[in-house]
Structure 1
Amino acid sequence: MKIVNLIVRLLLGLVFVVFGLNGFLHFIPMPPPTGTAAQFLGAMFVSHYLVAVFLLQLIPGVLLLINRFVPLALTLLGPVIVNILLFHISMNPAGLPLPLVVTVLWLVTAWSVRSAFAGIFQQNVPEE
């Protein structure tokens, strides 16, 4: 299982490093979106919001690849993945398979470090 966790973590890190870098270097050609997706991405591009999104993909991706601060990297990637899923579900269903794979990779990686998240799943906070 240790090898599976290693492979999954590296794949997840690689996906986010590649797509995070692609946001800055544009080495993967992608067809322009149409309709609502084009308007949404256009607004994010013009406002420079995508710079933050690409950094929030790149930095945790590197952390996953070098096996440092893995719970922090997963915490940063969680909302990014949710937004990617919502984007593809609501505006671009054709691109949904990769976000679903990434979600599974994230879940497997999170499960492998679940003890780091034990504190946030407490029903009651002990009083001091």
Structure 2
Amino acid sequence: MKIVKTILAVLFGLMFINAGLDKFLHYMPVPPMEGEMLKVGMAFGTIAWLMPLVGAIELLGGLLFAIPKTRALGAIVILPITVGIVLHNAVYMPEGLAIAGPLLLINLWIIADNSNKYKAMVN
């Protein structure tokens, strides 16, 4: 089970590192948007600091998540991003839930697996 967790955590981390880098380098193609998605994309684009902030959190969270020693911290750092991805997909692109849902589940699994490390924060 430890090997499965390690493989999933590294892949999860790499996915977010890639997504974070793309926020700065723009190397992945963006599919054409229409309707409500176009409005959302335009709204996000008007907030100049938003995507760089999300990209930085994705990079940091992905790096922390991929490294076993910092995985518990990475899981907390990246949690708001994964929740946002799931909510965005649930509202605007339900077909994306096939990827977003498992990402959130992996994130929650790592948080649950490291729950003893968070006790000091909530006591």
TM-score interval for Structure 1 and Structure 2 normalised by the shorter chain: 0.7 to 0.9
Matched ranges for 1:29-48 at <5 A: 29-48=29-48
Given that residues 85 and 96 in structure 1 are in contact (C-alpha distance below 8 angstroms), is that contact kept between their aligned partners in structure 2? yes
Q: What is residue 84 of structure 2 aligned with on the other side?
A: 83
Q: What per-residue deviation string (whole Å, max 9, x for no partner) do you get for residues 38-91 of structure 1?
A: 211221122121111111111110112233432221111111111111111111
Deviation at 1:103, TM superposition (A): 1.1
Instruction: Provide the TM-score with structure 1 as the length reference.
Output: 0.83
Closer/same/farther in 2, CA of residues 60 and 68 from structure 1, 3 Å limit: farther
Deviates more, 1:111-120 or 1:50-59: 111-120
Q: What is residue 93 of structure 1 aligned with on the other side?
A: 94
Given that residues 13 and 62 in structure 1 are in contact (C-alpha distance below 8 angstroms), is that contact kept between their aligned partners in structure 2? yes
Deviation at 1:96, TM superposition (A): 1.9
Distance in 2 (CA, whole Å) between partners of 1:63 and 1:39 is: 33
Distance in 2 (CA, whole Å) between partners of 1:74 and 1:52 is: 17
Distance in 2 (CA, whole Å) between partners of 1:113 and 1:47 is: 35
Specify every segment of 5 or more residues in structure 1 that has no aligned partner in the other structure, as ranges: none
Identity of aligned residues (%): 27
Q: What is residue 11 of structure 1 aligned with on the other side?
A: 11
Specify the SS of the correspondent of 2:24.
helix
Distance in 2 (CA, whole Å) between partners of 1:90 and 1:37 is: 10
Instruction: Provide the TM-score with structure 2 as the length reference.
Output: 0.86
Specify the SS of the correspondent of 2:100.
helix
Given that residues 5 and 108 in structure 1 are in contact (C-alpha distance below 8 angstroms), is that contact kept between their aligned partners in structure 2? no
